[in-house]
Chains A and B, each alone.
Chain A
Amino acid sequence: MASSVWFLMASLSADEPIMNMMPRWDDGWGYQFIEEYRHESDLLLGSRALHPGYTEDVHLLHFQSVYTWDKSIRLTAKLPYVLDARREMPDGSGGKRIEHDNGIGDATLALPLKKYFNLDGKSGSWTFKPMLRLPFSGTDDYEIYDNEWGNGLGLGYEYETAKFHVHVSTSGWVYHGNEPFESWSTLDLGYNFNAWGTNAALMWETDFHYEDNGSETLLAGPALYWNINDTAHFRIEWKHDFHDRQGVMDHGNGDVFKFSLGFVF
């Protein structure tokens, strides 16, 4: 069941708690809540809107946690919860059929292995990240999550100066059931600045998603990160689908909004 699954993996695959940055120190830990809302405008087949105006709205809450043993070894766990998902599908007689999903989603465990480098005026890391998908989701009218075991591998590179940061990553997933191979690639560019006695960053993030059933989506948009204090960190982001092609009939042409609040110790 490929429908609507792809974009959710963005939350699961592309970013790591906390805000992709912390904790960099050994014996550090943290947790993060992400509220995600996505609206899809059309039901697509290929790049064509097969059913224009057949929408899908998904409201999710992600709980994510991280523990850093040594500064180069982290363990992350992510568990999504579908607060409400609603989509409009053709009923076969010219009308719409409304389908819903809610409840727990599939969990993801990851072991990001980091190789840091520190230069004069620049710091960054290389990341090698094995991942495991655990099927926890249930059965409703339709399923946001696959309810399949999966294995993933991620690679990343990032660096930061006092003013700018760059993050590039790619990841691939294979599933033990019927789901096709999929990959996510991301390019994040950020500008750091100080505000209200703390630091913040304004970013432009671009994601590309591919499935070997012919689906591909390019989405991009701005994000704002705010370091409230040493413990609390806030982030808001919006991404728009600039290119959307569905290899099987699925909703697309959407926007996604995320609000994140993370705590690190």
Chain B
Amino acid sequence: MTSFFGVQIGFVNAADGVPEVSRDVRAKVAIGKLQVQKQAALLYVKGMTCPSCAIGIRVKLSKLDFVDRDRFKRGIEMDCNNQLLTVALKDGTSPNWTRIEQEIDNAGYVAVEWFSMQKDELKSYPFLKVAE
């Protein structure tokens, strides 16, 4: 865990290669997104750097029954600069993280961790394959 501007950050080790975005920058962007987007899931997807190559993420995830396709672009917003993925959730639903991880894998990418804000702190939770 790392402390960043007083925020506890629990990134898993994803800094193989030469990251274009530091963990601190990504955390700051993630906080901003979580403060603005309600009823949405926020993930770090490793390798999601090209919006065209990553279209499959939208193709796969938008078919999940808890995704609100009326928001964003078919329910999915891709921030390829920071490799952050936002999934709009239907009211009253919660994300099925196992399905999300599987579909991102089917699309050719790696779901590393998802984020939430708890008492103004950014918390991160590694996906199963990464945690193993």
Contact = CB atoms under 8 A, between A and B. Distances in A.
Chains A and B bind each other? yes
Interface of A: 19, 21-26, 28, 71, 116-123, 160-163, 165, 192, 198-199, 225, 227, 230, 233, 264-265
Contacts of A264: 55
B55 A123 contact: no
Given A19-B52, A24-B107, A162 B58 contact: no
B7 interface: no
Contacts of B19: 119-121
B18 interface: yes
A162 B49 contact: yes
Given A21-B50, A123-B48, 19 more contacts: A24-B55, A25-B56, A25-B106, A71-B56, A117-B47, A120-B17, A120-B20, A121-B18, A121-B20, A122-B20, A123-B49, A160-B50, A160-B53, A161-B20, A163-B20, A199-B80, A227-B51, A230-B58, A230-B59
Contacts of A25: 55-57, 59-60, 106-108
A114 B18 CA distance: 22
Interface string B94-106: 0000000000001
A123 B50 CA distance: 8
Given A28-B59, A71-B108, A123 B81 contact: no
Most B CB within 10 A of own CB, among A122, A192, A233: A122
Contact of B52 (A22, A116, A265): A22
B4 to A, nearest CB: 17
A161 B49 contact: yes
B29 interface: no
B15 A120 contact: yes
Q: Which interface class (under 10, 10 to 19, 20 to 34, 35 or more) fits B? A: 20 to 34
Interface in B1-53: 14-21, 46-53
B50 A119 contact: no
Given A21-B52, A162-B80, A230-B58, A119 B16 contact: yes
A242 B126 CA distance: 52
Nearest to A124: B47
Contacts of B57: 25
B85 interface: no
A120 B60 contact: no
Contacts of B88: none
A231 to B, nearest CB: 9
B109 interface: yes
Contacts of B81: 162
A66 to B, nearest CB: 13
Contacts of B116: none
User: Chain A CB within 10 Å — which of B18, B59, B60, B109 has the most?
Assistant: B59
A258 B51 CA distance: 23
A239 to B, nearest CB: 22
Contacts of B55: 22-25, 230, 264
Interface in B50-102: 50-60, 73-74, 80-81, 83
A22 to B, nearest CB: 7
